[in-house]
Structure 1
Amino acid sequence: MPELHVAGQSWSVSSASNLLDALNAAGLRVPYSCRAGSCHACLVRCVRGEVENAAPEALSPERLAEGWRLACQCRVVDELTLELFDPARDGLPATVVASDWLSPSVLRLRLQPGKALRYSAGQHLVLWAGAALARPYSLASLPGEDAWLEFHLDCRQPGAFSDAARQFQPGDVLRLGELRGGALHYDPDWHSRPLWLLAAGTGLAPLWGILREALRQQHEGPIRVLHVAHDSSEHYLAEALRALAAAHPQLQVELLTATELAAVLAELKLVSRQTRALLCGSPASVESFARRLYLAGVPRNQVLADVFLPRA
């Protein structure tokens, strides 16, 4: 049976054991969110020995060369010595500059990183609120324009991170983990093409940054933004979106409740085969969006989607 050596502990595990399960079963409290290799909260570093890695492409070649692995995607096949990701040592400090409610359930968090962070609209970061409390969140801020990193946290349901976030105060220090480039981005080559941005809930966060990036780059094609919320009180960027629409005639904004979604999706009509569609939200919402876009004739390779997975 392979032996694990971590944080001063040593113990044997069954061959081919999932590494994340083995670590948490030993009480080491490695955080995770998706168990799909997407959130990057379960980073560990192989100091000696190697694992069977099901998703090497999930990390950059540089991170892999440094020994970092995603524990949820690894199986133990031999003796292994590990270091856990330590946010105090391995993370970038970031100070809370503002924490306020945009709606009854959406908390806007603005952070000032300890050093300049290079990122693009649509990317996401792992936020650490303690040694074993980490969650990935999409960036809603626009690099080069916003002086902070902005996140929109869905606090409708209780959860360890959202419960902690309700208590954040200006001056508190968090730690930033992995910066990830998801599927969503703005390509300058799209400047004359129709652009559809379809979001559910806080899936609007990365699309808010991408929308402003498109407008900053003087996107010429029509832009259609569709935001679905549980009820009208949760259209948390309604005023800001309407202000942008008033200033940019090519921008159309539609704010829908969940009960209105099916009828509006049924009426979606493709105006150009060159349309690019960006989708973000829960798995069910993104699936509904994608199905309707397919029926409307949007080519699959012109649809980009990020899914906010519920915690496994």
Structure 2
Amino acid sequence: MAKVKHEAAWYPLEPGETVLDGLLRQGVNVSHSCRAGACQSCMMRAVEGVVPPAAQVGLKDTLRVRNYFLACACRLPDGQALEVAGVGELRVPARIASLTPLSRDVLSVRLETEGALDYRAGQYVTLLRAEGLARSYSLASLPRERTLELHVRLIPGGAMSGWLATEAKPGDRVELQGPAGDCFYVPGQPEAPLLLAGTGTGLAPLYGIARDALEAGHTGPLHLFHGAREPGGLYLVDALRELAARHPNLHYRPCVLGGGGGEVEEGALEDLVRACLPKRPTGWRAFLCGNAEGVLSLRKKLFLAGFSLKDIHADAFLPSTPRVEPVSGAA
């Protein structure tokens, strides 16, 4: 039987069980969210023992060489022992600067950090409360701006979004971990056409990426599609129209499945995106964010349409998973 040591206590792992699942099952409070290796909120550091390579997939080289790993992806061979520690040294203290509704179900959360956070617009960070509750959100702000901006979708019964919407207030202390993610603008080829497409709060990273590209002097066309089920699901409409008015190469395309009209197109996001593409999209770069199913589907369709995979940058939003209740009698 494999086992893991956490804060001076040893915990046995069932065959095939991840370090995260084993610790949660036995009542250990470990920060986590997606449990799919994407958000990196369950990151730990190995003090003693060998970390399976699969538990470090997606981490930066600078983290791997220091024995950081993802607890949700770490399965130990039978008989192996691993001693782990937290990642407090990777976290940046912050405080809530403002909480502003952007729509009926999207909240802008602005944060001021106590230390510098080196990030690129479009990357994501993990927001942590004092007791360890963690959720990952993309950054809509630009590095030059004084505060970090997150767009939080308000989910009925959501632990973090519910707290932010009803209890949190400016001045409250939180922590940030990250940044992570490769969905951001890289200067170079300023004439290349850019496709930015997302649904819901997938607009957050796209908003940052578009502004970052424009400030970097990108001259090629930027086609920004934001999709929702109906008009009430759209947000930042006026801000994006004003941005497009200042930059003729930015083409903002809000779209809905039903109830559209006027300047809001009606139809499936995928169909509208494909209709704007040339027969051979040579040199195009794409940034896709939002619902995981939609992102993966559009990524496949763009590849089949002629996009190079290296030019498709995708950030699929994964939902948090239900809390695992500890086994009876666990500490």
Give RMSD over aligned pairs: 2.0
**Equivalent residues in 2 for 1:1-312 (5 A)?**
1-77=1-77, 78-86=80-88, 91-144=91-144, 146-166=145-165, 167-180=167-180, 182-259=181-258, 260-262=266-268, 263-265=271-273, 267-270=275-278, 272-294=281-303, 296-312=305-321
Q: CA deviation at 1:309?
A: 1.1
Q: Is the 8 A contact 2:11 2:23 kept in 1?
A: no
Q: CA deviation at 1:120?
A: 0.9
Q: Is the 8 A contact 2:97 2:110 kept in 1?
A: yes
Structure 2 CA distance, aligned partners of 1:237 and 1:168? 23
Q: CA deviation at 1:296?
A: 4.1
Q: Is the 8 A contact 2:135 2:320 kept in 1?
A: no
User: 1:185-234: per-residue Cα shift (whole Å, max 9, x none)?
Assistant: 11222310111111111001111111001110121111111100122122
Greater displacement, 65-74 / 194-203: 65-74
User: 1:232-275: per-residue Cα shift (whole Å, max 9, x none)?
Assistant: 12221101100011111111111111343325245233274222
Change (3 A) 1:287 1:53: closer
Structure 1 CA distance, aligned partners of 2:90 and 2:28? 17
Structure 2 CA distance, aligned partners of 1:288 and 1:33? 23
Change (3 A) 1:287 1:13: closer
Structure 2 CA distance, aligned partners of 1:66 and 1:267? 47
Structure 2 residue matching 1:130: 3-state secondary structure = coil
Change (3 A) 1:65 1:267: closer
User: 1:107-127: per-residue Cα shift (whole Å, max 9, x none)?
Assistant: 100000001211111111111
Change (3 A) 1:277 1:3: closer
Structure 2 residue matching 1:76: 3-state secondary structure = coil
Structure 1 residue matching 2:122: 3-state secondary structure = coil
Structure 2 CA distance, aligned partners of 1:292 and 1:17? 35
Q: Which runs of 5+ in 1 are unaligned?
A: none
Structure 1 CA distance, aligned partners of 2:75 and 2:294? 32
Q: Is the 8 A contact 1:228 1:261 kept in 2?
A: no
Change (3 A) 1:103 1:2: same
Structure 1 CA distance, aligned partners of 2:173 and 2:86? 21
Structure 1 CA distance, aligned partners of 2:205 and 2:15? 40
Greater displacement, 196-205 / 182-191: 182-191
Q: CA deviation at 1:102?
A: 0.3
Q: CA deviation at 1:50?
A: 2.5
Structure 2 residue matching 1:178: 3-state secondary structure = strand
Aligned length: 308
Which one-letter code corresponds to 1:231 in the other structure? E
What is the TM-score of this pair, normalised by structure 2? 0.86
Structure 2 CA distance, aligned partners of 1:108 and 1:171? 15
Greater displacement, 150-159 / 215-224: 150-159
Change (3 A) 1:13 1:118: closer
Q: Which runs of 5+ in 2 are unaligned?
A: 259-265, 322-331
Identity of aligned residues (%): 37
Structure 1 CA distance, aligned partners of 2:202 and 2:5? 40
Structure 1 residue matching 2:188: 3-state secondary structure = helix
Change (3 A) 1:141 1:10: same
User: 1:160-181: per-residue Cα shift (whole Å, max 9, x none)?
Assistant: 111122122111111011221x
Structure 1 CA distance, aligned partners of 2:312 and 2:173? 37
What is the TM-score of this pair, normalised by structure 1? 0.91
